[in-house]
């Protein structure tokens, strides 16, 4: 060890850090990458049927029709897919807690139901089960915090891997020359190195955006106190709701008066904890492609506009934090962005399998010779 230069000692330490971090956490990252890649296209694969219509029944009529299927009181209504011809009405009282009744907006026909927190992949909503695994490992706040820390470690993993694999000047073409990989070990290392170099930047972006969502509550609290973040709305609790409500369709119409060019994302219905209609819409210029974060808050009885928030022109802290989701799923760049996220997600299991396989082969190959050397020394 004393004969190694300072640079070689640093490189050896980085190799060991990269190796053992990958062995200990790599399986989780592989599953996160695979589940994230699946989620890129999940709304395209999950639609119960193709529906195309520019007509829509009043929101209150759709809520009433959904109530006959689910029972109880609705909590919200809004987009479930990018296609506005299908709306989802959310209720409590499903097997897993909350769930959505999917409605054909033009006719009020019930199309399907979706569990919000299915306990098994075959329990009412396979794709939501995948989402809950990817988002929190089914462990709610603890799982989100754990994955947030994991995401920060993944940034260091991608950074150290790129540093170790970075070709010397003039060696880039040789690094990707697959015809030179003759042995299985060379092939495994070559694929591991190429996949890492090709995906490192995308992995860093995805890991940072994912961690910012996992730590979203804490980041928003900090940003509100220190960086000018503006909470869209806080409602004061009341003893009971007004007996005569303004109406969901009327509330959406009032929101359209505030933002005439906006399109519907969702309307959260009044509750004693928040006795208002919270109308979420998408404004032109928002980074999210179909489900916006602009909001208009409407008084539950009078229809008076209590506040409005334009996500496309909000404080810079809001726009940075709001950008995490569309960056993480690639929709900020349209279809090319989603394809890039899909490939970056798939690179994680490729990196884990190739790296682990190469390490195991090298360990098996060097193990006997090391044991023989130790035996010779003892003799």
Q: What is the pTM of this model?
A: 0.87
Confidence band, pLDDT 50/70/90 cuts, at residue 45: confident
Alpha helices in the chain (DSSP H): 6-40, 42-46, 59-70, 126-136, 140-165, 172-175, 184-214, 216-226, 248-258, 316-322, 324-328, 334-378
- The answer to whether the beta carbons of residues 125 and 104 sit under 8 Å apart is no
User: In degrees to the nearest 10, what's the CA dihedral of 238, 242, 246, 251?
Assistant: 10
Which domains are seen in the chain, by residue range? 51-123 (3.10.450.40), 231-314 (3.10.450)
Region 66-94: what's the mean pLDDT? Answer: 92
Structure-model confidence comparison of residues 266 and 48, the more confident one: 266
**Distance between CA atoms of 175 and 177, rounded to whole angstroms?**
6
Confidence band, pLDDT 50/70/90 cuts, at residue 124: confident
Region 287-315: what's the mean pLDDT? Answer: 92
Q: How far is CA 86 from CA 40, 59, 130, in A?
A: 19, 12, 22
- pLDDT in the model for residue 375: 44
DSSP code at position 310: -
Q: Is the pLDDT of residue 214 over 90?
A: yes
User: How high is the mean pLDDT of the chain?
Assistant: 89
Q: Is the pLDDT of residue 86 over 90?
A: yes
């Amino acid at each position: 060890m004393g004969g190694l230069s300072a640079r070689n000692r640093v490189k050896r330490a980085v190799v060991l850090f990269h190796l053992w971090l990958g062995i200990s956490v790599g399986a989780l990252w592989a599953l996160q990458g695979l589940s994230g890649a699946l989620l890129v296209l999940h709304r395209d694969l999950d639609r119960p049927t193709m529906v195309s219509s520019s007509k829509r029944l009043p929101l209150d009529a759709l809520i009433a029709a959904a109530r006959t299927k689910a029972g109880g009181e609705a909590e919200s209504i809004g987009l479930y897919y990018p296609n506005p011809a299908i709306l989802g009405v959310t209720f409590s009282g499903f097997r897993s807690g909350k769930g959505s009744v999917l409605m054909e907006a033009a006719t009020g026909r019930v199309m399907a139901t979706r569990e919000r927190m299915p306990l098994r992949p075959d329990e009412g909503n396979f794709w939501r089960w995948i989402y809950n695994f990817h988002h929190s490992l089914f462990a709610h706040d603890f799982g989100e915090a754990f994955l947030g820390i994991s995401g920060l470690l993944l940034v260091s993993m991608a950074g150290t891997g790129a540093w170790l694999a970075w070709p010397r000047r003039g060696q880039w073409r040789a690094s990707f020359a697959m015809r030179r990989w003759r042995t299985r070990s060379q092939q495994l290392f070559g694929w591991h190195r190429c996949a890492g170099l090709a995906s490192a930047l995308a992995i860093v972006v995805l890991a940072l955006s994912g961690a910012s969502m996992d730590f979203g509550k804490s980041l928003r609290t900090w940003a509100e106190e220190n960086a000018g973040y503006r909470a869209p709305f806080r409602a004061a609790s009341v003893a009971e709701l007004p007996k005569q409500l303004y109406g969901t369709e009327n509330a959406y119409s009032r929101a359209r008066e505030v933002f005439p060019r906006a399109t519907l994302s969702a309307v959260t219905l009044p509750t004693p904890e928040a006795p208002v209609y919270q109308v979420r819409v998408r404004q032109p210029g928002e980074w999210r492609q179909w489900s916006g974060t602009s909001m208009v808050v409407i008084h539950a009885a009078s229809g008076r506009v209590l506040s409005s928030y334009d996500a496309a022109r909000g404080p810079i802290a809001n726009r940075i934090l709001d950008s995490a989701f569309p960056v993480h799923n690639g929709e900020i760049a349209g279809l090319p962005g989603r394809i890039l996220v899909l490939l970056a997600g798939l690179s994680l299991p490729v990196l884990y399998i190739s790296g682990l396989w190469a390490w195991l082969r090298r360990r098996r190959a060097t193990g006997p010779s090391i044991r023989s050397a130790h035996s010779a020394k003892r003799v």
